[in-house]
């Protein structure tokens, strides 16, 4: 057990670093918000992230990375049937540093235009400590 303990700690540290690095999104402008309006062309409702493909009126396809399906289902009540291919959506999130990538992450809003259904992230308020 003594010999394997350092190896176990090393694996846990590397796994934690990998997860944090994945969620830092270095290729995205996290302090900015871009808005895309278009038709939902593809929906992959799965973990680790729900992926949306949206085609604009100009024919440009954007990819949008949302929360995990399990998180959306239990915290935001977004299920596999909430959105359907063909829905006209407005999606807001952090854009890629390279505009040619046509990607958004950390979605702040997803709105279905036909009925106004909306998913929106409410910004956290700073805690007051004394």
pLDDT exceeds 50 at position 19: no
Q: How far is the C-alpha of 117 from the C-alpha of 120, rounded, in Å?
A: 10
Asked, for residue 95, whether it belongs to a domain, the answer is yes
Confidence band, pLDDT 50/70/90 cuts, at residue 109: very high
Dmax over CA atoms of the chain, in Å, equals 62
For 70, the domain range is 29-120
pLDDT tens per residue, range 22-42: 456 778 999 999 999 999 999
Measured distance CA(4)–CA(26) in Å, rounded = 34
Predicted local distance difference test score (pLDDT) of residue 66: 96
* 49 found inside a domain: yes
pLDDT tens-digit readout, 59-68: 999 999 999 9
Tokens 């977004």, residue located? 78
Q: Which residue has the higher pLDDT, 86 or 10?
A: 86
Amino acid 130: pLDDT: 54
Residue 43 counted as domain residue: yes
User: Does any domain span residue 20?
Assistant: no
Two structure tokens written together for 54: 């949206």
- Domain-located, residue 16: no
Domain count, the chain: 1
Domain assignment present for 111: yes
* Domain of residue 109, CATH code: 2.40.50.1010
Q: Is residue 89 part of a domain?
A: yes
**Domain-located, residue 17:** no
């Amino acid at each position: 057990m003594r010999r394997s303990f350092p190896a176990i700690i090393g694996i846990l540290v590397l796994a934690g670093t990998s997860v944090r690095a994945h969620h830092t999104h270095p290729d995205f402008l996290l302090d900015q918000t871009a808005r895309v309006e278009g038709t939902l062309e593809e929906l992959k409702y799965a973990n680790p992230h729900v992926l949306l493909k949206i085609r604009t009126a100009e024919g440009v396809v954007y990819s949008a990375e949302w929360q995990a399906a399990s998180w959306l289902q239990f915290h935001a009540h977004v299920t596999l049937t909430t959105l359907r291919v063909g829905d006209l959506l407005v999606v807001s999130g952090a854009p890629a540093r390279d505009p040619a990538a046509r990607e958004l992450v950390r979605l702040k809003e997803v709105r279905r235009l036909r009925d106004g259904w909306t998913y929106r992230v409410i910004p956290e308020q700073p805690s007051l400590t004394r």
